[in-house]
Chains A and B, each alone.
Chain A
Amino acid sequence: MKMRYRYLILAISLLLFMTNAAIAAVNVQCPGVPDRKCVHLSSGDGFVQMADGTVLFIFGFSDVTNVINPQAVLSVGELAATFSAPTIEVSEGDQFYLTLTNVGMKMRPDLFDPHTVHFHGFPNASTIFDGEPMASIAINQGASLTYYYNIVEPGTYLYHCHVEATEHMQMGMLGNLYVHPSQNGKSINGFTKFVYNDGDGSTGYDVEFPLQVGSFDPRFHIANLEIEPLPFAGMKDTYPMFNGRGYPDTVNPGVLPSPLIAENNFKPSQPISSLITATKGQRILLRISSVSTVDFHTVTVLGIPMKVVGKDARMLRGPAPDYRDLSYYTNSLQLGGGETADVILDTTGISPGTYFVYTTNLEHLSNNEEDFGGMMTEIIIN
C-alpha cells in the first residue's frame, strides 16, 4: 500500500513535470555567422493530385523559411505538405542551418510520428545530423530541430525523412538537394556555372533543372488515409513521376492548381515543373535523382546525347594522381533509389523543337490505369 502510494505520487509528479517541461515550441536557429544559409521546413501531411485526376494523401515537407512569426508555422504548415518536397540549393562553403518543425498530421491525429531530415550522401556525416532514427534523434510534434551542415562537397544529393523509412518515403517525404561549387562565378570556357570544381569548364552549363524520379502506390496512400493496415509487402508503384507529377502535368510550367478538396484548404502542393527550356547552343544540366521506393528506372533523352559528368555528388573523375576522365555519353541512364547523376545536354547543333525525356521502363509511361503519361517530360529548344 505504501509502495503503491509512492508510485502514485511519482506518476503524478512525472505528469506534472512533463506538462511543465514539454513546452514544445517552434525554435528557428539561424545565427549570424559567416556564409550562413538558413532554411526552415515544416513536416506534416497534405494532398496531391495525380495526372489522371486522382487525389492522394501524402506526408511531406513544406518551405516555411519566410514565415515571419515562427509560432505561426504550426498553422501555416498544417496540411501544407508538397511533393516533391521543397528543393534545397546551397553553395560550397555555406554553413547550412536547416530547421525542421514537426507540425503533426491533421488527417491522422492518431499518429504521433516524429520526423527527420536525412541529407542523403552528405560526406563524413555525423549521426546527430544524419536523421536515421535508430542511430539518432527525431523531432516530435510541435517542436523544432535545427540541423547543421558544413557544406564542403558540391554535387547533386537528395533529402528525405528517414523515420519509418518505407512508409514516410512512399508517402512522399522526398526532396531535391544540390550544392553549387565554389568555382561558380569564375569564367572558364565561356561558362560561369559548373556542376563541380572541374578546373577546365568540362562541367559548365547554362541552365539547370532538377529531375526527381519517383513513384507512388495509390493503394498504400489510400490505406494510410483510411487508417487501414499498410500494404508493405504488396507495394507496387503505379504513378511514376518526375518532380511529383505525371505527364502531362510535368510540362505545366507553373505551380499545379490545388487538389480541389476542402481538407487541403485549397493549398497548391505540387510546385515543381519539369518543363525544360533552353536556347539552342546552351548546355542544359539535368540533376537527376531517384527516390523510388520500389523500382530501378532507366531515363532517356530522345534526340540529344546525354553526357554523364557526375554520379552520387562526385565528378566522374578517377582518384589521384591521374584524375582520369570517367564521364561518358549515353542515351540510357539507370538509377536505383538513392542514386543521383549529373547529365549535361549540349544543344549546339540541335534543331529548335520539342524533345522528350522519359523512362524506358515502358510500363511506367502511365498514370495508374491511364495508359499515356507517367514518367515523361519535354525539353523545348528555342
Chain B
Amino acid sequence: MKNKNLFLKTRLLLMILSLMVLGVSFSAEGAIDGVISSSNHFTLTAKSGYIDTPEGGHLFTWGYALNNANMQYPGPTLLLKQNDVVTVTLKNELTVPVSIVFPGQPDVAATGGVPGLLTMEAPPGGTVDYMFTASQPGTYTYYSGTMPELQVEMGLVGAIIVRPSTNPSTQAYNHASSAYDREFLYLLTEMDPEIHRKVSEGRMNEVDTTTFFPVNWFINGRSLPDTLLEAPSLLLPSQPYNIVPRMRVGERVLVRMIGGGRDFHPLHLHGNHHKVIARDARLLESTPGTSGADLAEMLFSTTVASGQTTDAIFTWTGENLGWDLYGHSFADPLVSNETFAETTLLSSLSSNAFSTSLTVADASGFPATSSFRAIVWSGTFPGTTREIVRLKRSFGNTFTITGRGLEMIPLTQGNVEASNWPSGSRIAYTDHGRPVPVKLPDQLDLTNGMFWSGSPFLGTAGPLPPGEGGFNPNSGFFFMWHSHSEKELTNNNVFPGGLASMMIVEHPDPLIAPFADNPNITVVP
C-alpha cells in the first residue's frame, strides 16, 4: 500500500479531531468497569445527586455511591468471584428508608437496620449489612427493595458479575461454551423526569408511579451520544460508565444484558446474530453442569425483560459477504479467515472440465448455498497458478464444481494459463480479491455518516467531503446496538439519542487498528 504514510497521517488527524470534537477517548472503553474488594466487603452509600441527559436534562437522582464518593447511576458494578463470601454495607444518607435486594443470590442474610417488606432497611442516617455467598457465576442485578417502584426509577440499581472458578477471566460460566475474548455490560433503564422533578421539589405525596411515562432511556446510566463518551468523564461526574464495545474480526464478545428498569426493551445488535447462552445466571443447558450451552438460541434481537439478565456471545468474521472486505487484490496473500473452507482436491480437474466431485468430508465447511466462489491452486499460494471458479453444492453425498471461468477468466501466474489442476491441488471457498460487486454512487449523491470511513473496506479510509465522516480513526466497521422500540432512540423528545451504542469491529492488525481493553476497576480494601 503505497499511500500508507498518508493513510496513517490521515488517521492520526481523524483521531485528534475526534478527541477535540466529541471528547471521544478510546482509552477507557472495553471490558467492564466496576469495583473489586480484596476483603469482599463493599460499602455503598445511598445518596442524592443529579445526572445529566444529552438533550440538556438535569435529573434529581438517588443512587448507590461507593463509600463516600459521588452518587452514581447506575450503582457500582460489583465484580465478584464464585464462592466469594460477600458483605455489602449500606449507609443511608437519603431522607427515606432504603435497602438492597440481590435477586438470584440465595440465603442473603441482612443484619442491622429496621425490618422492611422485602428485606432489612437502613433508616435515614442508619446502616444495614447484607451477607451472601456468590455461589453461582453469572450476571446479576441489585436494586432497592424499599418502594422499588419509586426507588429503582430514582436510580437505586446496579449490576453484579460473578466470575466462575474455572477460567474466570475468559469464561462467563464453568464451561468452555461460555468462553469469550471481550465482555461488555448492557444495563438498560429508563426514567420519567416528571417523577424526578416532584421528588426534587419534595412533593412526595404527588408522586404517582402508576402513571409512569418514561422519555429518557439509558445504557449503563447514559444515553446516546453520551454512551460513547469516555469513562469516567468529568462532564458526567455521576455517570461513570460508558458503552463502546470494540472487537477484532473473529473475536467472541460476551454481552451481559440486564433489564434494570420496569420496561422491556428489544435490544437489536447490528452486524450479526448473537448466541444467547444464559439467562438469569444459568447456562441454557440440557444437563446442568455438564452439557454446556446446548440449548443456546441464535437471535438478532433479544428481549431484555425487566429484572432479567441475559448473556450472549457475539462474533463477526465478515465471511460470506460475497466480496473481499479488506479490499485485497487477487495477488495478495490469503488471510487466515479466508481459508476456513480450504480442502484438497484429490482428483484432477482439467481445464476443459466443468465439474468434479468432492466427498462430503472434503466439502464440509463449504456453504450450502446454491452457488459460491472458490479458488483452486497447487503448490504454495499465491506463488503458483490459480483459478477462480464457482461451486454449486447439490443434494446427495457429492458436491459438484461447475462454472469454471464463469465469473472471471482463469487467472494465471507468469502469463501461463492454468491447464489442469493436478491431484493434491487445494481449493478454498473465499471472497479473496473479489471487488465490491456494485458501483457506488457519486459522492455528491450521498449523505455520509459521522462514523463512515469513506471506504467499504475494513481498516481503509476513503475520501470524504469536508465535514463528513471523521469519527472513525481506525476505519473500523461501526454497528449500532440499540433498542428496536425506536421511540427509545430519543432523549426527552429529541432525536437521536436514547438507548443506543455503537459497537466497533476493528481490523485484525493492531498496527492498523491499535486499541486495548482498559477497564476502570476500582479496588477497595
On whether the beta carbons of A34 and B487 are closer than 8 Å, the reply is no
Residues of A within 8 A of B485 (CB): 292-296, 336-337
Residues of B within 8 A of A126 (CB): 318, 321, 325, 456, 477
List the one stretch of B34-42, B94-102, B119-127, B289-297 in contact with chain A.
Answer: B289-297
B390 within 8 Å of A (CB atoms): yes
Shortest C-beta distance, A5 to chain B (Å), equals: 21
Distance, CA A177 to CA B395, complexed state (A): 26
Q: CB-nearest residue of chain A relative to B393? A: A182
Q: CB-nearest residue of chain A relative to B323? A: A148
Query: Per-residue CB proximity of A111-148 to B under 8 Å, as 1/0?
Result: 00010000011011111101011111111101111111
Residues of A within 8 A of B264 (CB): 296, 336
A92 within 8 Å of B (CB atoms): yes
B210 within 8 Å of A (CB atoms): no
On whether the beta carbons of B441 and A93 are closer than 8 Å, the reply is no
Distance, CA A125 to CA B273, complexed state (A): 10
Distance, CA A152 to CA B485, complexed state (A): 28
Distance, CA A197 to CA B367, complexed state (A): 12
Shortest C-beta distance, B388 to chain A (Å), equals: 13
On whether the beta carbons of B451 and A152 are closer than 8 Å, the reply is no
Residues of A within 8 A of B489 (CB): 165-166
Residues of A within 8 A of B486 (CB): 165-166, 169-170, 293, 337
On whether the beta carbons of B449 and A318 are closer than 8 Å, the reply is no
Distance, CA A197 to CA B369, complexed state (A): 10
Residues of B within 8 A of A92 (CB): 368-370
B248 within 8 Å of A (CB atoms): no
Query: Per-residue CB proximity of B239-265 to A under 8 Å, as 1/0?
Result: 000000000000000000000000011
On whether the beta carbons of B452 and A136 are closer than 8 Å, the reply is yes
From 43 to 58 in chain A, residues with beta carbon under 8 angstroms from any chain B beta carbon are none
Q: Which of B286, B317, B437, B456 is the one whose CB lies under 8 Å from A33?
A: B437
B320 within 8 Å of A (CB atoms): yes
On whether the beta carbons of B215 and A95 are closer than 8 Å, the reply is no
Known: A127-B452, A135-B502, A170-B486. Is A140-B446 also a contact (CB below 8 A)? yes
On whether the beta carbons of A148 and B437 are closer than 8 Å, the reply is yes
On whether the beta carbons of B479 and A132 are closer than 8 Å, the reply is yes
On whether the beta carbons of A232 and B487 are closer than 8 Å, the reply is yes
On whether the beta carbons of A324 and B294 are closer than 8 Å, the reply is yes
Residues of B within 8 A of A27 (CB): 441
On whether the beta carbons of B294 and A322 are closer than 8 Å, the reply is yes
Q: Which of A166, A313, A319 is the one whose CB lies under 8 Å from B296?
A: A319
Distance, CA A165 to CA B301, complexed state (A): 16
Known: A314-B299, A337-B484. Is A144-B441 also a contact (CB below 8 A)? yes
A349 within 8 Å of B (CB atoms): no
Q: How many residues in B have their beta carbons less than 8 Å from beta carbons of A? A: 77
Q: CB-nearest residue of chain A relative to B274? A: A312
Residues of B within 8 A of A97 (CB): 437-438
From 19 to 68 in chain B, residues with beta carbon under 8 angstroms from any chain A beta carbon are none
From 66 to 109 in chain A, residues with beta carbon under 8 angstroms from any chain B beta carbon are 91-93, 95, 97
From 267 to 313 in chain B, residues with beta carbon under 8 angstroms from any chain A beta carbon are 268, 270-273, 275, 286, 291, 293-301, 303
On whether the beta carbons of B318 and A91 are closer than 8 Å, the reply is no
Q: Which of A127, A128, A152 is the one whose CB lies under 8 Å from B367?
A: A152
Residues of B within 8 A of A149 (CB): 322
On whether the beta carbons of B437 and A21 are closer than 8 Å, the reply is no
Q: Which of B265, B369, B439 is the one whose CB lies under 8 Å from A152?
A: B369
Interface size class of A (residues with CB under 8 A): 35 or more
On whether the beta carbons of B371 and A148 are closer than 8 Å, the reply is no
Residues of B within 8 A of A322 (CB): 286, 291, 294
Q: CB-nearest residue of chain B relative to A313? A: B300
Which of B270, B291, B297, B403 has the most chain A CB within a 10 Å cutoff? B270
B109 within 8 Å of A (CB atoms): no
On whether the beta carbons of B484 and A319 are closer than 8 Å, the reply is no
Q: Which of B407, B446, B492 is the one whose CB lies under 8 Å from A137?
A: B446
Shortest C-beta distance, B224 to chain A (Å), equals: 10
A235 within 8 Å of B (CB atoms): yes
Query: Per-residue CB proximity of B437-481 to A under 8 Å, as 1/0?
Result: 111111011111111100010000000000000000000011110
On whether the beta carbons of B452 and A130 are closer than 8 Å, the reply is no
From 477 to 499 in chain B, residues with beta carbon under 8 angstroms from any chain A beta carbon are 477-480, 484-487, 489-490, 492-496
Q: CB-nearest residue of chain B relative to A165? A: B486
Q: CB-nearest residue of chain B relative to A135? A: B478
Residues of B within 8 A of A18 (CB): 444
Q: CB-nearest residue of chain B relative to A140? A: B445
Q: Which of B299, B403, B478 is the one whose CB lies under 8 Å from A127?
A: B478
Q: Which of B317, B406, B436, B452 is the one whose CB lies under 8 Å from A135?
A: B452
On whether the beta carbons of B441 and A34 are closer than 8 Å, the reply is no
Residues of B within 8 A of A127 (CB): 452, 456, 477-479
Residues of B within 8 A of A296 (CB): 264, 266, 303, 485
On whether the beta carbons of B303 and A124 are closer than 8 Å, the reply is no
Residues of B within 8 A of A294 (CB): 485, 487
On whether the beta carbons of B441 and A130 are closer than 8 Å, the reply is no
Q: Which of A150, A165, A234, A293 is the one whose CB lies under 8 Å from B320?
A: A150
On whether the beta carbons of A134 and B451 are closer than 8 Å, the reply is yes
Distance, CA A143 to CA B390, complexed state (A): 33
A164 within 8 Å of B (CB atoms): yes
Distance, CA A124 to CA B449, complexed state (A): 20
Distance, CA A354 to CA B312, complexed state (A): 41
Known: A139-B446, A337-B485. Is A124-B322 also a contact (CB below 8 A)? no
Shortest C-beta distance, A193 to chain B (Å), equals: 15
Q: Which of B265, B321, B496 is the one whose CB lies under 8 Å from A336?
A: B265
Known: A123-B273, A137-B452, A337-B485. Is A143-B490 also a contact (CB below 8 A)? no
A369 within 8 Å of B (CB atoms): no
A339 within 8 Å of B (CB atoms): yes
A262 within 8 Å of B (CB atoms): no
On whether the beta carbons of A338 and B266 are closer than 8 Å, the reply is yes
Distance, CA A314 to CA B298, complexed state (A): 6
B330 within 8 Å of A (CB atoms): no
On whether the beta carbons of B447 and A140 are closer than 8 Å, the reply is yes
Shortest C-beta distance, A229 to chain B (Å), equals: 8
Residues of B within 8 A of A287 (CB): none
Distance, CA A182 to CA B299, complexed state (A): 21
Residues of A within 8 A of B452 (CB): 127, 134-137
On whether the beta carbons of B477 and A35 are closer than 8 Å, the reply is no
On whether the beta carbons of B301 and A139 are closer than 8 Å, the reply is no
On whether the beta carbons of B270 and A130 are closer than 8 Å, the reply is yes
10 contacts between A and B (CB under 8 A): A23-B442, A93-B370, A121-B300, A140-B447, A143-B442, A145-B440, A145-B446, A197-B368, A230-B495, A295-B485
With contacts A23-B442, A125-B479, A128-B456 known, what are 9 further pairs, Cβ within 8 A? A21-B444, A34-B390, A93-B370, A120-B268, A135-B452, A143-B445, A166-B486, A197-B368, A293-B485
B-binding residues in A (CB < 8 A):
18, 21-24, 27, 29, 31, 33-35, 91-93, 95, 97, 114, 120-121, 123-128, 130, 132-140, 142-152, 164-167, 169-170, 182, 186, 197, 230-235, 290, 292-296, 311-314, 316, 318-319, 322, 324, 326, 334, 336-339
A-binding residues in B (CB < 8 A):
177, 215, 264-266, 268, 270-273, 275, 286, 291, 293-301, 303, 316-323, 325, 367-372, 390, 393, 395, 403, 406-407, 436-442, 444-452, 456, 477-480, 484-487, 489-490, 492-496, 502
